[in-house]
Structure 1
């Protein structure tokens, strides 16, 4: 039986049933192994709990050295890791090569962020000195998503390890091979036994993880799962909960001169990574009239001409969705919006029924009431035509989410207003909504998270502050009414 788990420095088989990850482009099996039982997960937490005191006391320079060796080991996977991600989740190779680079870059960014946002500070006082240090929480459970199965869990794991926490990591059940590679790379870098454990599996393994002996849960994924986690740990202030849960992201195009440039930005915002980025634009808001019409037509023209194919084909912009199930869900969502009153301008369709490939779709939802405020993870764009910029802002903010938004304009007065009014943690001007920097915070209000932004701000949720007043020796104290 394949060794699918890594617990206390040892690879072992899980005690549960076997499951697989499937290449959505071909249907080939990429990875197969047994999932972790609750007892396996408990063993992982026990190992993490036992390893924590020593790891937390390991000098920061030593932890940094291990993580820098991790980058060196990632360099050796320049072909293997991107291809593994592409095969598991369908992303085209030029994107997964970028994902590897983001994983490597996360280490130095995290070192800088730890120093700037946490770390140690001290100052002299009239009684001695004051000191601020930061301490690790303990055992962090990390749950990874499928869309960036290397970069996003890596973005939790690296700052958590840097701060001195130990990790129990469950990758997405759709990307177990990528999760396994990540952990094997940390192992080769010299991470001590028990500091990082890997448990594989689906819903039952995830439930066991949330029931484990944890001090924090670091999650990236759907709003429904994130909301469940938030409720589960309600009344548990002892557990750090950091959630990133996606968005129903708006892109406003207003007072723009170059229709082609605006259409390029809008199409990339909506269709990059086959729409499987949580920052992808889901709603395009344009002025009523000829300018808005020209932009919508130009976006549809680009959607018609997008090159779609498998990860190893040349000049491919868009791969398949992660699974045939996801493709069926995308078509069902399109049908639901059409039944609500939407007018399909370009049909999202599955050319091979039962497969994971879909074409990009566009639907006009102008004037439709009670549109579902949901995030569809797919290449599907809703169009809203509005009479004025004030209505455009109101339409953009008409969502429970708040992750990403954008404005395409040549009018900086409109940008000033949008900057003040749009409720989004990531707000871009004349850039795709799907563009985000790891050197900045990543997250947003509403159902997009719980005010624990990641990326550069991950340092904030990986350590807690300890403030001290320090005198060199005890001295008699005096205060009004205090006995002498």
Structure 2
């Protein structure tokens, strides 16, 4: 049972609700496949209560001074840090990631709250130059009620990444986090409530995703939609939002290319890329996946990658020596297995892994070599612990391969040539580029994609912009 099992229900208008004839779904420990809790689903009446509470809370919260908002967000961040051990354990039980990664996620969520607490004080406008006696002002005001939809791979961090700028800007939020991981997201609601957040300013509802999203987005109360998840679902929500001309932010899927040039420090590069590939069992939207390696070092890269992959310790994330836990749900091992089997059938070589585990939702860390472009995994993001590799000869060849898909969330490259690094930054069609680093996500930096990987940014001042309307006031 999770540490917050008593609060796996709905958090509506400052109160927790569960049972009373409502539907519920099982929360599964992915390490064992066992049920560890149940999460309550919202009824249509529950959703209407949440909408009414958000509507009533918006104007008072928008009128609250930035300093007062900041105090609450800072307190909530401190509470998350104080409760790190309990929250991280819950997160690992529900999602599967190693406990060290779970603790890092709690720290990242707290950092997001702290950063936007201060950014709330910097919602500057402009005064335009006008003739004497006239004034033209540009101000920014909160959009209103935001509907937030978040996935299970980083359930706490990605929810905080939306909630922090929404609340800092003066918006209120109704969140629909994933049913697979309700305990850790409930912990965020608990921290905000204990920090003094007024009732109705932040609420959590669970249920069948399509049912909840249709109900919330159709309401005239909701003026902003933010979604992190798959491309098909993102397109669906955009269509729903279009009927009400609602502002949207979409952080959708990717298929991150990694360009490895022959002038890189190969051993150092391998020491970076292998742990990054298998972080959170590869269930990361910016996980390095398509490795394009310059021909002269291709064989050495494969050997080094395979050797390191074989040493990745797999197991229950609560065990201190575990380096990779299970996949998050029962659907993932079969989906990844099908992609690996297809690649093998089309000529790819399996140099490490390639099989699912014996229990729970495990899949071995896997390295595929010489994967042809027509293999499904070269065009469909595996979202799992699989690295696919091919060699390239020239810079132009590498760029062509990196940019060939309709996705553009993150791209990475490793080179010691400064001129080449500049060219890579310009040429890669991606919202984020990491050159000799995977550190592309931080509270002060925009995070978002181009092409079918979405639009809009989270993080940085750009993340606040998504929750603000611009108004020009002219006075003569």
Match of 1:476 in 2: none
Residue 217 of structure 1: how far off its partner (Å):
0.9
User: 1:367-420 CA deviation, whole Å, 9 max, x = no partner?
Assistant: 443645221110111112122121011100111111111111112222122111
1:168 maps to which of 168, 174, 187: 174
State the alpha-carbon separation in 1 of the partners of residues 328 and 411 from structure 2.
24
Match of 1:292 in 2: 298
Match of 2:348 in 1: 342
Q: Residues 122 and 270 from structure 1, CA distance in 2 versus in 1: closer, same or farther, beyond 3 angstroms?
A: same
**Are residues 1:7 and 2:12 paired?**
yes
* Residues 324-333 or 14-23, more deviating: 14-23
State the alpha-carbon separation in 1 of the partners of residues 373 and 69 from structure 2.
55
What SS does the aligned partner of 2:199 have? coil
Residue 268 of structure 1: how far off its partner (Å):
2.7
The alignment's TM-score, normalised by the length of structure 2, stands at 0.92
2:252 and 2:449 in contact (8 A); partners too: no
1:76 maps to which of 69, 72, 82: 82
User: 1:21-44 CA deviation, whole Å, 9 max, x = no partner?
Assistant: 111113343331321122211211
Structure 2 counterparts to residues 38-437 of structure 1, below 5 A: 38-116=44-122, 118-122=123-127, 125=130, 126-203=132-209, 204-212=211-219, 213-234=221-242, 236-237=244-245, 239-289=246-296, 291-352=297-358, 355-369=360-374, 371=376, 373-432=379-438, 435-437=440-442
Residue 269 of structure 1: how far off its partner (Å):
3.2
State the alpha-carbon separation in 2 of the partners of residues 407 and 106 from structure 1.
27
Match of 1:480 in 2: none
Residue 226 of structure 1: how far off its partner (Å):
0.9
Q: Residues 13 and 431 from structure 1, CA distance in 2 versus in 1: closer, same or farther, beyond 3 angstroms?
A: same
2:241 and 2:247 in contact (8 A); partners too: no
Match of 2:471 in 1: 466
State the alpha-carbon separation in 2 of the partners of residues 370 and 357 from structure 1.
23
What SS does the aligned partner of 1:184 have? helix
State the alpha-carbon separation in 1 of the partners of residues 372 and 76 from structure 2.
53
Residue 235 of structure 1: how far off its partner (Å):
5.0
User: 1:337-384 CA deviation, whole Å, 9 max, x = no partner?
Assistant: 3334433332321121x5211111122344443645221110111112
What SS does the aligned partner of 1:230 have? helix
Residue 250 of structure 1: how far off its partner (Å):
0.2
1:306 and 1:318 in contact (8 A); partners too: yes
Structure 2: gaps (5+ residues):
none
What SS does the aligned partner of 2:408 have? coil
State the alpha-carbon separation in 2 of the partners of residues 341 and 235 from structure 1.
46
Residue 104 of structure 1: how far off its partner (Å):
1.2
Match of 2:459 in 1: 455
What SS does the aligned partner of 1:64 have? helix
State the alpha-carbon separation in 2 of the partners of residues 131 and 30 from structure 1.
55
What SS does the aligned partner of 1:216 have? strand
2:146 and 2:222 in contact (8 A); partners too: yes
* Residues 228-237 or 84-93, more deviating: 228-237
What SS does the aligned partner of 2:55 have? helix
Greater C-alpha radius of gyration? 1
The alignment's TM-score, normalised by the length of structure 1, stands at 0.91
Alignment size in residue pairs: 465
State the alpha-carbon separation in 1 of the partners of residues 392 and 404 from structure 2.
13
State the alpha-carbon separation in 1 of the partners of residues 371 and 355 from structure 2.
22
1:252 and 1:407 in contact (8 A); partners too: yes
What SS does the aligned partner of 1:441 have? coil
Match of 1:477 in 2: none
What SS does the aligned partner of 1:419 have? helix
Structure 1: gaps (5+ residues):
472-484
Residue 435 of structure 1: how far off its partner (Å):
4.3
